[in-house]
Amino acid sequence: MKRRLFILYVSVTAFFCGSQAYMSGQDGSTAYNFLNISQSARIYGLGGINITTIDDDIMTTDQNPSLLGAEMSGQIGINYMRYIGESNFAGVRYAHASGDHGAWCAGIQYFGYGAITAADETGIITGKFSPKDIAFSGAFSYDIYGNWRGGIKLKLLYSSYEQYSAMAVATDLGLNYYDPDMDLSFSIVGANLGGQIKKFNNHNDRLPIDLRLGWAQSFGDFPVRFSVTAWNLTKWHLPFVETGDGSNTSGEGPRIKDTFSSNLFRHLVFGAELISSDRFYLSLGYNYKTRSDMSTYSRSFLSGFSLGAGLNARRFNLSLALAQPHTGATTFMLNLTLNINDLTN
């Protein structure tokens, strides 16, 4: 009965919110885009978007609640990220088993963007303010049948920008299939489904509603797991302004690029992990959308690429990730995961 109710709830909610996703996909203007910044160093090292990584680590459930499981019971995950400019992000989450086939987790994430100079409508400096976003979340997952697991996450979002504030509610719906014999993982996620409950100055802002598909697999004894994640699937056209990397001598100015190949690859994120040992991993990710979004003369050669590494010790897991989306912006993420059951033994 629980399985049937869970499937019915997810199906009905997905149908209702899917129509919202389609409507939102027709209008590219969205707010709350901090929701697309991963809180997991492992995911960030795989390109920043990944919904298929299977690991006994609560942080990997960041973008797909169906990756949450009873095997993570008792885990506490702490994350910190030094982002672009003076931005600093940090958060914590906790997971616990719910029976033999379910699990829940709760967390809080803080997004701080540093101090910004404030001015009135005449340009007179009035001081400084520190804009911030805070996300409170709760998730539940359940083993539906065989290798299938479903999950749902609810997020309460609070934003404060100078004297303005807003609140929103969002939902992530996830479904994962995992075959351990083939090390094959396939997922589908409806992300950031919801809307505002308190507006900025009576202005309605859309959430970055998204539909995502993901695949990950290793092959035989080859110690590398490959992954491909498709996102922004609510809209096909993702045009961007291209100016080149400084090698353009034709004298042409910036131009809008909206070809079939550019749109295709701006929907895809690629990742590869070296998994030769249970004790550590190394990862490499490539996000073409990140690289093309930074298509200026000062774009770094490493723009779009990300690197990750992790160590699994007996009592804790440590993960690190680095990326340089722009020459003036090197980002760094750190995750620490502990299991309180191990600490008490």
Q: Report the SS3 class of residue 325.
A: strand
166: tokens are: 């807003």
Q: Can you give the pLDDT at residue 302?
A: 83
Q: Can you give the pLDDT at residue 7?
A: 47
Q: Can you give the pLDDT at residue 85?
A: 81
Of 299, 338, 331, 337, the closest CA to residue 44 belongs to 331
Q: Can you give the pLDDT at residue 253?
A: 65
Give the count of beta carbons closer than 10 Å to the beta carbon of residue 97. Answer: 15
Q: Can you give the pLDDT at residue 105?
A: 97
Q: Can you give the pLDDT at residue 296?
A: 64
Mean pLDDT by 10 residues, the chain (345 residues): 46 44 44 91 96 93 95 95 90 94 96 85 81 96 95 96 90 97 96 91 85 96 96 92 58 79 96 92 95 73 91 90 84 94 71
Kind plus residue range of the DSSP H or E element containing 18: helix 2-25
Amino acid at 302: L
The structure's pTM equals 0.87
Kind plus residue range of the DSSP H or E element containing 321: strand 316-326
Amino acid at 103: A
Give the count of beta carbons closer than 10 Å to the beta carbon of residue 275. Answer: 17
